[in-house]
Structure 1
Amino acid sequence: MKMNEFMWKGEFSNMIEELEVPDNWDLHVDMNLVKQKTGLIYTQQTFGSFRCARCARSWNSSKVSVLFIINLNKRLRSGTVKIRIFKQGCERCTHSEEIIPTVTSDNIERVVCNLVHKIQRKFYGVTDEYQHQKPKIYGPLEGLHNKERCEACRNGLCEQQMLSCKSEQNREQRDPATSTALSVMSLVTGVASIALMYFANK
């Protein structure tokens, strides 16, 4: 089974246009994509469904890892995003081919929306109150995530991406509160300084 490249590219183009992102941006599928020294690395996890071609076993996973490498050529005003969706293997079959998941259109939309907002923040300095969209879960999830049969785990992406994603979300949620706390501290410090000056001159 091949990844639905047309759907991902179409959703990306629509979101770039809808959010009025500057420059020309393209999305390219690369199923051999790995982390690189150049470009912005961005990872997400979404929900996907799998079906083994060998034994017909089906399963769902909420740990479908998606890797993006994002580059912007400012001189040419041209941006490129490479995407890879990582496969999983069937637990029942020992030597079965690893499978590309089926991702629903609404979860593709959520992943792409997160991606485009990331581009806006990192390359164009857009600051808004956008909240990272989590995937919709369809159907039951069976047991624990099998790291040995997960392509992303073998590439060191699963746990790392969850930690980095949580850290970023926590940081974005913490920033307004931190700013408020700093403002209050500055105010208290200022009042204390004025009081000390007043009593020193008495």
Structure 2
Amino acid sequence: PGRTMRTWQKIFAQKIADMDVEEPWIIQEDGSLQVHNPEHGRREYLQKHAAGRFQCSQCLHKWSSAKVHILFHMRRGKVRMRIFRQSCRRCSSAPLEEPSFSQENMERILHNLVLQILKDFYNVPVSHCEGCRLGACTKPLVAPKTPTWKPRRHLGTATSPPLQAALALGPALSPPALCHEGGEAAKFLAAVAPGPFLSMLRFSQPRSVMVPAQPPSCRGNSLASS
């Protein structure tokens, strides 16, 4: 146990140095810590999903757990740590066993701890991105800007073939709406056919639109019925 604690302390010191914290910090094990009961002036931090391995001292059964709880109580310059144990499910009176951790998981646990220290004692904003917490991200996570939609190309005048094809689909959407601004067909045409015809849909008076070049009938029910 003492050797393992020295490993925790070594990794913790390195993590503190990596974050350019100039004040000295130490970490110590304390099996008497209680959840939600820190001493006055201390901060509490609980990690609930650490990955560890256990072995029963009675039947030698081994198991892994991704829900090892580790409790930290912190004051400026000092951290006390308690790792909660688990018992074997195969043994009726199994004792609580200490977990073991890989080097990678120890570094992950202590990296998260140091980020919490930066937040609680140095007012450093901490990202909620797991990649940032693990040091994988080089930049803060920023939400992408909503792109402004632009047509790929101008489809031409109301008599051009592309626009005529769009008009032919109008009755399949909602036939009466084709002749009224704001209907489903108008929205469809606004998406695929910007230009003179779209301007006419938006700004012509009266609101009913006269479509040149033999427009589809506004009384048609659907393409299937034609």
TM-score range, shorter chain: 0.5 to 0.7
- 1:66-81 matched pairs, under 5 angstroms: 66-72=70-76, 79-81=77-79
Tell me the C-alpha RMSD between the 2 structures: 2.6
Contact 1:48 1:104 in 2 (8 A): yes
Output the amino acid matched with 1:36.
P
* Aligned-pair CA distance for 1:130: 6.5
Give 3-state SS (helix, strand or coil) of 2:75's partner.
strand
User: Unpaired runs of 5+ in structure 1?
Assistant: 73-78, 136-172, 181-202
1:85 aligns with 2:83: yes
* Aligned-pair CA distance for 1:21: 1.1
Contact 2:30 2:82 in 1 (8 A): yes
Give 3-state SS (helix, strand or coil) of 1:106's partner.
helix
In 2: Cα distance, 1:128 partner to 1:48 partner: 25
Give 3-state SS (helix, strand or coil) of 1:118's partner.
helix
User: Unpaired runs of 5+ in structure 2?
Assistant: 135-140, 146-226
- 1:108-187 matched pairs, under 5 angstroms: 108-127=106-125, 129=127, 131-132=129-130
Partner of 2:38: 36
In 2: Cα distance, 1:16 partner to 1:63 partner: 25
* Aligned-pair CA distance for 1:57: 0.7
Which structure: larger Rg? 2
In 2: Cα distance, 1:61 partner to 1:85 partner: 13
Which TM-score applies when normalising by structure 2?
Answer: 0.54
Partner of 1:192: none
In 2: Cα distance, 1:65 partner to 1:96 partner: 19
1:51 aligns with 2:55: yes
- Give per-residue Cα distances to partners, 1:57-103, cap 9 Å, x unaligned: 1111100000000101xxxxxx1100010000011112221001111
Structure with the bigger RCO (C-alpha within 8 Å, sep 6+) is 1
- 1:86-105 matched pairs, under 5 angstroms: 86-105=84-103
Aligned length: 134
Partner of 2:177: none
In 2: Cα distance, 1:103 partner to 1:113 partner: 14
In 1: Cα distance, 2:3 partner to 2:130 partner: 24
In 1: Cα distance, 2:6 partner to 2:64 partner: 23
Partner of 1:7: 7
Partner of 1:64: 68
Output the amino acid matched with 2:79.
V
Give 3-state SS (helix, strand or coil) of 2:87's partner.
coil
In 1: Cα distance, 2:80 partner to 2:130 partner: 20
Output the amino acid matched with 1:71.
R
